[in-house]
A and B are shown apart, each in its own frame.
Chain A
């Protein structure tokens, strides 16, 4: 039976191709993941010292005001990136998608370039730029408004999440812009021309041609950006030097996880936090899938 033989070689090939990934994935992702599920039912002082506490970690977590604070902060940040960063990225992409625009290659490069910076540097720079009085940001605001009272905006103590949203605007807008740009370039030219012949204005083209063709990418970008935002960690961690800042105003979920697990050695509590976060992310992903499906089925 030749067909069966071919099938068998193909199956062997498939598994051979999968083997490196599966081996690494099982050892370095699945196994630790299972471990962390066990950890969440323990209190630990590092991995060496454990005591079983059942669901106590989760009970404590739900009544832990600091944890709720971190969830609140993280959602503020995520909403900031959703409603400020992504629209700006989309507008930039629209602007740079124009065929006739001169120098768009250079603009594209410039807007993307902050991605190349390491976070250590970005946070040091952020701390200097958002300082009270002497910081570049306040100086600029005060200069533009000609009102010296804006020199006193206390970004790093009072408005930490706003500061983070602004820094990540600088850092990530170019990245998301590239995604949108990629999507815009796949918009069917003939559709655009047809719309133009039909006398559609800029808004009409946007609504009837561009939005529908960008939607799949936009959905993807929104999901990616939500996942990334909810896992925000390194930037505030370095910016605030490991603490949550005054009143924990800059504490994010993953920072709280790290604090508990690595500063205090309670890997159990940390794993519990990690699992709650994972549940939130799964929920978000499911909602997203539902929404996309519903739209696909609908008109």
Chain B
């Protein structure tokens, strides 16, 4: 039997556990931010703040924004724009393509539908690494190496997205509604844009965020496909800050902070859809 007293003890206990876990999750960020403000000399002197004579025994005066300044002197804004471009393009078009495909596979009847659905589901378990080598050869053959097209096109048709949207449509688009729209004289195209897309809007938010994040942090494919420095996204630029003779950790951590901020902001905007979107996709079908 639970009594009110025990319940409030339980509540405090729960909060205590959650706070501890939250702190553990957050410690790396604290480290990251402080590290990005430290000079090279102080980097290894202390795990967090450099020791000094300031309040709390911390050398506050040793903290500096130099790493950030240097980052932008190195032309990091170019990589930032590239990253935004690649990620936004992938998010937008992959979502559109997957939504269209998922809708058709869920609601339209035509010959070959089952075969295509089966192939798409099967493609879910193809390890992407298996495709790296023949994929590279292919991009060379069609002359798309070192181009944005070569990087983006292969990423615009993820089977996983089709699967998610097919689930979402099955879940939240009733057949009667489609029939009613057709009787009202809507064309198939406007049905898709006016009726279907708004109904699966949580999935749109969620999938956009997932693809945006995945492209943002993807570094294997740009590293293999792109050659020119000015085309590289942030992820590759950051990994290249790891020097050979010496790694400038201050610069590296500052770059990481810069690269996390935009996606963090985007996540804050999209987080509601994100959660409800995943529900609709996750339920069995």
A and B touch in the complex (CB under 8 A): yes
Interface residues of chain A, those whose CB is within 8 Å of chain B, are: 9-11, 13-15, 17-18, 20-22, 24-25, 27-33, 35-36, 39, 47, 92, 95-96, 98, 100-101, 107-121, 124-125, 129, 134, 136, 170, 174, 178-179, 181-183, 185-186, 216-217, 219-221, 227, 231, 233-234, 238, 254, 257-258, 261-262, 267, 270-271, 274-275, 277-278, 281-282, 285, 292
Please report the total number of B residues contacting A with Cβ < 8 Å. 81
In the complex, the answer to whether A116 meets B129 with C-beta atoms within 8 Å is no
In the complex, the answer to whether A182 meets B217 with C-beta atoms within 8 Å is no
In the complex, the answer to whether B239 meets A120 with C-beta atoms within 8 Å is yes
| B84 adjacent to chain A (CB < 8 Å) | no
In the complex, the answer to whether B282 meets A262 with C-beta atoms within 8 Å is no
In the complex, the answer to whether B14 meets A27 with C-beta atoms within 8 Å is no
Measured in the bound complex, the distance between the Cα atoms of B124 and A107 in whole Å is 31
Interface residues of chain B, those whose CB is within 8 Å of chain A, are: 11, 14, 17-18, 21-22, 24-29, 31-32, 47, 97-98, 100-101, 103-105, 108, 110, 113, 116, 119-120, 122-135, 137-138, 153-154, 156-157, 159, 162, 188-189, 192, 213, 216-217, 219-220, 234-235, 238-239, 242, 252-253, 256, 259-260, 263-264, 267-268, 271, 274-276, 278-279, 282-284
B212 smallest CB distance to A (angstroms): 11
Q: CB-CB < 8 A to B219: which residues of A?
A: 118-120, 234
In the complex, the answer to whether A18 meets B275 with C-beta atoms within 8 Å is no
Q: CB-CB < 8 A to A36: which residues of B?
A: 130-131, 133-134
Q: Please list the 6 inter-chain residue pairs (A to B) with the smallest Cβ-Cβ separation, ordered nearest first.
A: A274-B130, A182-B279, A24-B157, A32-B134, A35-B134, A216-B284
Q: CB-CB < 8 A to B252: which residues of A?
A: 121, 124
In the complex, the answer to whether A274 meets B127 with C-beta atoms within 8 Å is yes
Q: CB-CB < 8 A to A281: which residues of B?
A: 125, 127
Q: CB-CB < 8 A to A234: which residues of B?
A: 219-220
A202 smallest CB distance to B (angstroms): 8
In the complex, the answer to whether A119 meets B217 with C-beta atoms within 8 Å is yes
Q: CB-CB < 8 A to A238: which residues of B?
A: 239
Measured in the bound complex, the distance between the Cα atoms of B284 and A15 in whole Å is 26
In the complex, the answer to whether B116 meets A125 with C-beta atoms within 8 Å is no
In the complex, the answer to whether A21 meets B278 with C-beta atoms within 8 Å is no
Known contacts being A33-B126, A233-B129, is A183 close to B279, with CB within 8 Å? yes
Measured in the bound complex, the distance between the Cα atoms of B145 and A53 in whole Å is 30
Measured in the bound complex, the distance between the Cα atoms of B26 and A112 in whole Å is 11
B170 smallest CB distance to A (angstroms): 13
In the complex, the answer to whether B129 meets A24 with C-beta atoms within 8 Å is no
26 contacts between A and B (CB under 8 A): A9-B188, A10-B108, A20-B97, A20-B100, A20-B156, A21-B98, A25-B120, A28-B138, A28-B154, A32-B135, A33-B134, A35-B138, A36-B130, A47-B134, A117-B260, A118-B219, A118-B260, A121-B32, A125-B31, A125-B32, A170-B25, A170-B28, A174-B25, A182-B276, A216-B283, A254-B129
Known contacts being A11-B110, A20-B157, A227-B124, is A28 close to B275, with CB within 8 Å? no
Other A-B pairs beyond A121-B32, A281-B125, 15, CB < 8 Å = A21-B98, A21-B101, A21-B162, A24-B153, A28-B154, A36-B130, A101-B11, A113-B29, A118-B256, A118-B260, A119-B219, A227-B124, A234-B220, A254-B127, A278-B130
Measured in the bound complex, the distance between the Cα atoms of B106 and A14 in whole Å is 11
Chain B CB count within 10 A is highest, among A9, A21, A95, A275, for: A21
Which residue of B is nearest A119, CB measured? B217
Measured in the bound complex, the distance between the Cα atoms of B282 and A217 in whole Å is 5
Q: CB-CB < 8 A to B268: which residues of A?
A: 109
A212 smallest CB distance to B (angstroms): 12
B238 smallest CB distance to A (angstroms): 5
Q: CB-CB < 8 A to B135: which residues of A?
A: 28, 32
Which residue of B is nearest A261, CB measured? B133
B61 smallest CB distance to A (angstroms): 25
Q: Out of A27, A110, A182, A227, which one reaches B275, CB within 8 Å? A: A182
In the complex, the answer to whether A274 meets B129 with C-beta atoms within 8 Å is yes
Known contacts being A28-B138, A217-B283, is A111 close to B127, with CB within 8 Å? no
Q: CB-CB < 8 A to A217: which residues of B?
A: 279, 282-283
Q: CB-CB < 8 A to A22: which residues of B?
A: 116
Q: CB-CB < 8 A to A96: which residues of B?
A: 18
In the complex, the answer to whether B108 meets A14 with C-beta atoms within 8 Å is yes
Measured in the bound complex, the distance between the Cα atoms of B32 and A136 in whole Å is 13
B242 smallest CB distance to A (angstroms): 8
A109 smallest CB distance to B (angstroms): 7
Measured in the bound complex, the distance between the Cα atoms of B219 and A274 in whole Å is 20
B226 smallest CB distance to A (angstroms): 16
Known contacts being A116-B263, A119-B219, A182-B279, is A95 close to B126, with CB within 8 Å? no
Known contacts being A21-B101, A116-B267, A129-B28, is A257 close to B260, with CB within 8 Å? no
